Chain A
Amino acid sequence: MAKATRKKPAVTEIDAPADARTAAQSHFRTLRLGTPFQPRIDALARTDDWYNWAGYRAPHSLWDEELEYFAIRSQAALFDISPMTKYRIEGSDAEAFLNRVTLRDVAKLKPGRVHYTAWCDDAGFVLDDGTLFRLSPTRFRLCSQERHLPWLLDSAIGSEVTVEEETEAVGGLALQGPTSFAVLVDAGFAGVDKLKIFDLAEFPHDGGTVTISRTGFTGDLGYELFVPAEKALSLWDRLMIAGELRGIRAIGYTALNRARLEAGLIVANADFTTAEHAIRTDRLRMPDEIGLGFMIDLEKGHFNGRRAILEARTKRKLRHVLVGLEIEGNIPAEHAIVYYKKSQEVGLVSAAMWSPMAKRNIALASLKRPFGDTMVEDLWVEIYAMRELQYQKLMKRAKVVQRPFIKLDRRTANPPADF
């Protein structure tokens, strides 16, 4: 049966199962936790520009957000992803359990592979999206934006599986950019060349192991590294030393956020509101409404939300659609309203930027169907550009375009080039 456990730090005596659940996710007791890499990040934080990422003190930027962005695209960028919620899911029923919870078919995910997935509540509304790492036939790591322990434990009723929160116990780093492969090779991770996109493997590190996957949130060549918290600093140092001549730089979220937008990737509670956060009923989103319909596997057996999703599809009850937009001009259309024929409000831009890589003015937007779905002509965005204490209102033509906005061959090249 499912049980709530936790590795560290040690908790006080627990009597009732309810207490055990609370104790198993006591992250909220400390305000603005530091990650296992915090000493190194604090030392590099020249802008002192912090934000709250799931209760952790995380940097928006460390020294210069523009240059940090270009570190991703032309060097190697090191980004601390430790605040990401991580669950260790293990047991003979782990695959079946995850198949019931998440949208994609986990049976198709082989050990040593990673896939991007999402999960829904009974009504088919998205609770979160995240990545699922299959570490062995019976062991997984699920990474997500929000915390889900009670949902996962209740989903485990009747299954031989343990679900354990390991957010604090495991540190994570994203190493992204064209020289990231070379950095890993220089750092002595022998065999890292074997990793194809979405592969993962374990490598020796400091008397223990580090799990390296060829994954990332940038659309670039890149890797993610997961390490026990106590080996975190030695991993950081190993990469920084090896990467010195490869231009490795620590970065903050602003730079990463730009890269992910170019890659066309969405962020929970930025581009859509997760079901447990939404207060207004029309803010809830089904996977088909945020571009995640491709994950839904109706052939695999039951999964949470299946009935509702199927009904919405057959009864044509899907009301929104998330699209990529290309907007004329070069002024970012951040949070601009989208219009049909310049007058009828049909949606909102959730993320926008001038893309240095695509050389296009790009955006992600949520539109009310049929706009963005069958009606894609004559769409406009209204941009309020603040110019010396005066808004300059711009009505710019928007074109629905394919995501990702950029496609880099080096992301999938095998073996990656030694830049």
Chain B
Amino acid sequence: MTSFDAIVIGGGHNGLVAAAVLAKSGRKVLVLEAATDIGGAARTEEFAPGFRVSSVAHVLNRLHPDVVKTLELERHGLEIARGDFVPSVALSRDGPPLVLHGAYGEALTGASSSEQTAWKELSAQLLRYAGILKPFLSRRPPDLSAMSLLETAALGQTALALKKLGKEDMRDFLRVLLMNVADLLDEQLTDDRLKGLLAFDATLGGHLGPRSPTSLLGLYYRLAGEIGGAAGAQALPKGGMGAVVTAIRAAAEKAGVTIRAASPVAKIIVEKGRAVGVALDNGEVLHAKAIVSAINPATTVLDLVGPREVDTGFVRKVKNIRMKGNAAKLNLALDRPPQFVGVDAAGHKGRLVIAPSPDHVERAFNPCKYGEFSPEPVMEITLPSLADPSLAPAGACVLSAVVQYAPYALKEGWGASKPKFLKAIMAQLEAYAPGISKTVLHSELLTPTDIEARYRMPGGHWHHGELQADQMLMSRPVSGWSGYDTPVEGLFLAGAGSHPGGGVSGRPGLNAARRIIAMRG
């Protein structure tokens, strides 16, 4: 029987990163993926004959530079240069759109000159503050019970960075930290289109409206991400998000990782408080010194380990992780590229956002609190085939949109409501790109329940746990166990449910692997 040093459960991007880093340390590593293909929600999949699209994650904006460097992803075919950055276009029904160019709006067009000045100041401030949080949102969270010298030093550095802001700026940083994004935007901006775009970005993927307390944190999380060395920048990877996974996979395989797809794990075998192996659905048993779960933390603990193998208090905490998604994914196969009103060619290749004002986003959020979908949903749209024709047949076009708010626990159930929600989305699209409905050859709408079933993400939540203040840092996935290890010795968590959270960053996987190496696990 083959034995491994580490078995990684889940071949999503975090699982692959963890596996690659562990293999590079000399460990013999096996990745077990339940689906027939690896990549999790960061795949490129064919959804209609000849049409391919990024499965859930479709904009690359936070692949961590340490991951790129450690795995030498550039040598494995992933290249992101400044020229690949795409703009964000805030669509408007009443006039021309407003466009943020470069890395999160280094230049702003379509706004008044006073608004441009205001934005310049605000964006600089946001990036400055996000920069303070950046180390927190990448490193392993501080271990409150036993802080190492290194951790203390790192905290000290943050204190120093805060101090370097200057007195006024430091006070303001602390003042706004837990604010809602809408109030902050109202303090400094006047243009509803710009405010709507920022409100959308702050609340994307979460159960928050722009007026919910702490909603600004979502924007910081977004801006703490970087690609190509530029904070806040975004790109549509050539070949879809699957291309990023392909590069990570290549790095993992080069390091000697064995990858087995179509191998769902049924059980993590625990003996005397220690994880010693896994049993597959087909009954096969595999042993390893370390079991690394890069799937959902609740699934890991409650389904694979089983509540009886851990303490009751821990089960309570795990069961209380909030993870009911609100984001749906729409994939459209269009017979020709759509024309969004007032948007130029470069804009069409960017990220098009329908979020006309913070109030609009807030109103879209309201019904979802009560288990209803937004009648006028907000969304971010990409047309990836414009820059990468390989994704669609000649002359045709792929539209990929992330749409909010589509609550996982819909009161009426998604069965009957899905066509109604699709209709509501199409009405929005039609308003901004007249005639688009007639060009639809095929549509695929993935509600959170579909995402849950297809990508094994409980609640259809791409962060695998709501990313809010009470579920971040030392409290992610649960308080007391935020350092990637678990109460079960030899079992580690490496997925988005762990700190810092979701998005295609690879950071939870990297941190988990480093933790395992540090613990000699």
> Which chain A residues have a beta carbon within 8 Å of chain B's beta carbons?
96-97, 100-101, 121-123, 151, 154-155, 157-159, 298-299, 301-302, 304-307, 310
Contacts and interface: CB of A to CB of B under 8 A. Distances in A.
Nearest to A93: B308
Interface stretch (B95-103, B244-252, B314-322, B412-420): B314-322
A91 to B, nearest CB: 13
Q: Which 3 A-B residue pairs are closest in the complex by CB-CB distance?
A: A122-B313, A122-B311, A158-B307
B164 interface: no
Interface in B297-341: 302, 306-316, 319
Contacts of B313: 121-123, 304
B256 interface: no
Nearest to A301: B272
A157 B311 contact: no
A349 B61 CA distance: 64
B312 A298 contact: no
Contacts of A96: 308
Given A122-B311, A307-B311, A158 B306 contact: yes
A207 to B, nearest CB: 40
A301 B309 CA distance: 8
Given A122-B314, A158-B308, 20 more contacts: A121-B312, A122-B313, A122-B487, A123-B313, A151-B312, A154-B312, A154-B315, A155-B312, A155-B315, A157-B307, A159-B307, A301-B272, A302-B270, A302-B272, A302-B308, A302-B309, A304-B311, A304-B313, A306-B273, A307-B489
Contacts of B273: 302, 306-307, 310
Contact of A159 (B308, B311, B316): B308
Contacts of B309: 302
A395 to B, nearest CB: 41
Contacts of B312: 101, 121-122, 151, 154-155, 304
Interface of B: 270, 272-273, 302, 306-316, 319, 487, 489
B519 to A, nearest CB: 15
A298 B270 CA distance: 14
Contacts of A310: 273
Contacts of A159: 307-308
A84 B273 CA distance: 33
A97 B307 CA distance: 10
A287 to B, nearest CB: 15
Max chain A C-beta neighbours (<10 A), residue from B272, B310, B312: B312
Contacts of A302: 270, 272-273, 308-310
Contacts of A151: 312
A272 B189 CA distance: 61
Contacts of B489: 307
For B307, B314, B319, which residue has the most chain A Cβ atoms within 10 angstroms? B307
Nearest to A306: B273
A305 B311 contact: yes
B272 A100 contact: no
Nearest to A302: B309
A231 B272 CA distance: 45
A310 B487 CA distance: 12
Contacts of B310: 302
A120 to B, nearest CB: 9
Given A122-B313, A155-B312, A157-B319, A298 B307 contact: no
Contacts of B302: 157-158
Contacts of A97: 308
B487 A307 contact: yes
B357 to A, nearest CB: 37
B316 A154 contact: yes
Contacts of A122: 311-314, 487
A159 B307 CA distance: 9
Contacts of B314: 122
Nearest to B316: A154
A290 B90 CA distance: 66
Given A157-B319, A310-B273, A100 B308 contact: yes
13 contacts: A96-B308, A100-B308, A121-B312, A154-B315, A155-B307, A155-B315, A158-B306, A158-B307, A159-B308, A302-B308, A304-B312, A306-B311, A307-B487
B277 to A, nearest CB: 16
B272 to A, nearest CB: 7
Contacts of B270: 302
A310 B273 CA distance: 10
